[in-house]
Amino acid sequence: MTDRDWRLQTTTSLAKDWNNPWTGQTVPKGTRITVVTVAQLNSKKVVTIPVPNGSAILLNASKKSHSRAKELRVKSKIDSSKKREVAFLSEYDAFDFLEDTIQSIVLAFSAIEAFANEVIPDNFEYAHFRKSRTILETANKQQIERFISLEDKLDKVIPEVLGVKSPKMHKSWSEFKKLKRLRDRIIHMKSQDRISSGPENDTLWHQLLKLSTPHRTAFDVIKYFTKKMDSPPQWVEYANL
């Protein structure tokens, strides 16, 4: 796997020679196999691309966004300057920093959601109380994906699937909660985030300026579960995060 991109959904090798029924060719034992998808670009052309793991590609994109944001902070000496008041070198740099930070947060949160949905078996059913503590409901995989919150998936559903404890008492949980709050602030932006403000007002923009590594927070949550799996996702072992 070291010579392949770690973001691949899966890759394996043939255990024995295989006769391709579509081409009639014999594919020799040991040949690498990768899941691919073929898309119709237009009436004359199709394109083939390897299928990435959803969490892996989202985490890597989050990491790239975080790296760009970090470079902009360094460029403007936001952290290294000894001055009491600092600013980005330009509006362009300030807004690029905010954009990259927002991207990193949203992508990292989405990576956790993608992982949670992938772990749930197709035939799994989750029994839970909804609104009333006296009425027990059962949700299938599709209903879990659509209607159960990510927090409940991590706290209740996946622990039931894997037969492990909830991550609530693990150190990664508090960081996940911070990531969720910030992601929610981004998605549900408030009116106070659109006006001039001083240090006394805790706006979204103030939160985005606080140092964090969203992709690592998300990866820590994912690893809490993969460490307890008999066959963890292949990409986790080789992740470059």
Q: Tens digits of per-residue pLDDT, 119-176?
A: 999 999 988 776 666 666 888 999 999 989 999 999 999 999 999 999 999 999 999 9
SS (H, E, C) 93-161: HHHHHHHHHHHHHHHHHHHHHHHHHHHCCCCCCEEEECCCCCCEEEECHHHHHHHCCHHHHHHHHHHHH
Q: Are 65 and 72 in contact (CB under 8 A)?
A: no
Q: Enumerate the domain spans of the chain.
A: 11-50, 54-238
- Whether residue 1 is predicted with pLDDT greater than 60 in this model: the reply is no
Structure tokens belonging to residue 49:
């691309």
Q: Which residues are bridge partners to 203 per DSSP?
A: none
Beta carbons within 10 angstroms of residue 161's beta carbon: 17
Nearest to 58 by CA among 106, 10, 117, 116: 106
State the pLDDT at residue 106.
Answer: 98
* Residue among 88, 62, 22 at smallest CA distance from 221: 62
pTM above 0.75, yes or no: yes
β-pair partners for 12: 33
How many angstroms separate the CA atoms of 196 and 231, rounded?
52
Provide the mean pLDDT of the chain: 90
> Which tens digits make up the pLDDT trace of 30-79?
777 788 888 999 989 999 898 999 999 999 999 999 999 999 999 999 99
